[in-house]
Amino acid sequence: MNLVTPAEHPFAQFVRAIGKGKRGARNLSREEAREAMGMLLDGKVEDTQLGAFLMLLRHKEESAEEMAGFAEAVRARLQAPAIQVDLDWPSYAGKKRHLPWFLLAAKALANSGARILLHGGGAHTAGRLYSEQLLEQLHIPRCRNWIEVGQALDQQQLAFIPLGDWMPQLQRMIDLRNILGLRSPIHSLARILNPLGARCGLQSIFHPGYQAVHREASQLLGDCALVIKGEGGEIEINPDATSHLYGTANGENWDEDWPALSPQRHVKPESLEPAHLAAFWRGEVADEYGQLAVLSTLALALRALGEPREAAFSRAEQIWAARQA
């Protein structure tokens, strides 16, 4: 009787590297991360390996080198045309405490001439309001491919494309959230991808300590990026709290603290009403919190594009006042 030892699956080495106990586990190198993500994207792993890999990464906490390697693997498979973009604006968290005021900031900035790409990963968590659910009401074009994105940017300077339409493999990983019980590192990865190579990428990372890791990953990729702990996980300044800005451009890092704009915290609304957001855009209703959130987020976007803080806030007020309904 001949007993043949089965060959080890090629992906097993990556699961072993990050999961081999407290003393044996290690981070993947940038090259290893690029190879591992490439295998995931090309469908060369078993589902059990995918789940194990994502959750071990979540438990270990991914490094900047790993995130950079993952991003490089995704970018190598994008096949996106050359489309000029000023700001890459990922929207993956959804809002549950406040309305997504950042959408009005992006819309107003686009009206002023900045070309902005929004992208998101679907309504994956119950009880949250996602950008995809508000596009029609706010007249933000939903695009299903890069050709439509280019047309929308030429016509309105603003476009939204779902992750599933340009990298469905990553969307599938995000959708595992309700099966695995936890968000995976793919939620973080989507924020640094900057698929069209925008002049600067905005990123919101909610969990403390991850902001600096994201900035380092973008620096490794040679990208301009501005990272904050945004309200609810979205790229939106919370005017009731101090905001720390983690920036990187031309290989150099910079940091700024923006003080709270309100002496006391605003009471959060009892429910999130999208109609209120649209009415505020049209100037039909007032909202003190919304006004501060929109203006400060507008200023944040302008800061990412190189304007100093004071000039950014001054121009944000001008852009908001001149918005087109």
Question: DSSP for 155-203?
Answer: HHSEEEEEHHHH-HHHHHHHTTHHHHSS--THHHHHHH--TT--SEEEE
| Cα(256)–Cα(313) distance, integer angstroms | 14
Phi-psi category of residue 259: left, alpha or beta, with phi > 0 → left and psi -120 to 50 → alpha: beta
Tokens representing residue 220 in the block: 């490794």
| Cα(195)–Cα(117) distance, integer angstroms | 9
Examine the domain organization and report whether 20 and 92 are in the same domain: no
Residue where a domain terminates, one of 46, 76, 106: 76
| Cα(60)–Cα(262) distance, integer angstroms | 37
Q: What is the pLDDT of residues 240-266, one digit of tens each?
A: 999 999 999 999 999 999 999 988 888
H or E stretch including 42? none
Examine the domain organization and report whether 143 and 210 are in the same domain: yes
Examine the domain organization and report whether 45 and 162 are in the same domain: no
Residue 1: per-residue pLDDT: 57
Residue 174 resides in a domain: yes
Residue 283 resides in a domain: yes
Full residue range of the structural domain in which residue 190 is found: 87-321
- Number of structural domains found in the chain: 2
Residue 17 resides in a domain: yes
Task: Name the DSSP class of 95.
Answer: B
Residue 82 resides in a domain: no
- Are residues 164 and 144 in contact, defined by beta-carbon separation less than 8 angstroms? no
Largest CA distance in the chain: 83
| CATH number of the domain where residue 69 is located | 1.20.970.10
Residue 101 resides in a domain: yes
| CATH number of the domain where residue 311 is located | 3.40.1030.10
Examine the domain organization and report whether 157 and 258 are in the same domain: yes
Examine the domain organization and report whether 66 and 136 are in the same domain: no
Examine the domain organization and report whether 204 and 234 are in the same domain: yes
Strand, helix or coil for residue 154: helix
Examine the domain organization and report whether 64 and 150 are in the same domain: no
Residue 7 resides in a domain: no
pTM of the model: 0.94
Residue 303 resides in a domain: yes
Residue 2: per-residue pLDDT: 62
Nearest CA to 26 among 63, 58, 55? Answer: 63
Length, in residues, of the chain: 325
Neighbours of 6 (CB within 10 A): 5
| Cα(30)–Cα(39) distance, integer angstroms | 14
Tell me the pairing of strands 225-228 and 243-249: antiparallel
Examine the domain organization and report whether 254 and 128 are in the same domain: yes
Examine the domain organization and report whether 121 and 58 are in the same domain: no
| Cα(154)–Cα(64) distance, integer angstroms | 34
Residue 325: per-residue pLDDT: 52
Examine the domain organization and report whether 55 and 110 are in the same domain: no
- Are residues 237 and 230 in contact, defined by beta-carbon separation less than 8 angstroms? yes
H or E stretch including 28? none
Residue 269: per-residue pLDDT: 84
Residue 56 resides in a domain: yes
| Cα(174)–Cα(48) distance, integer angstroms | 15
Residue 72: per-residue pLDDT: 98
Neighbours of 218 (CB within 10 A): 29
Residue where a domain terminates, one of 22, 56, 76: 76
DSSP secondary structure, 249-314, as one string: ETTEEEEEEE--SSSSPPPPPSS--HHHHHHHHTTSS--HHHHHHHHHHHHHHHHHTT--HHHHHH
Residue where a domain terminates, one of 44, 76, 108: 76
Examine the domain organization and report whether 122 and 70 are in the same domain: no
Examine the domain organization and report whether 232 and 295 are in the same domain: yes
pLDDT < 70 stretches in the chain: 1-2, 124, 324-325
Those residues whose C-beta lies under 8 Å from the C-beta of residue 283, and which sit 6 or more positions away, are: 325
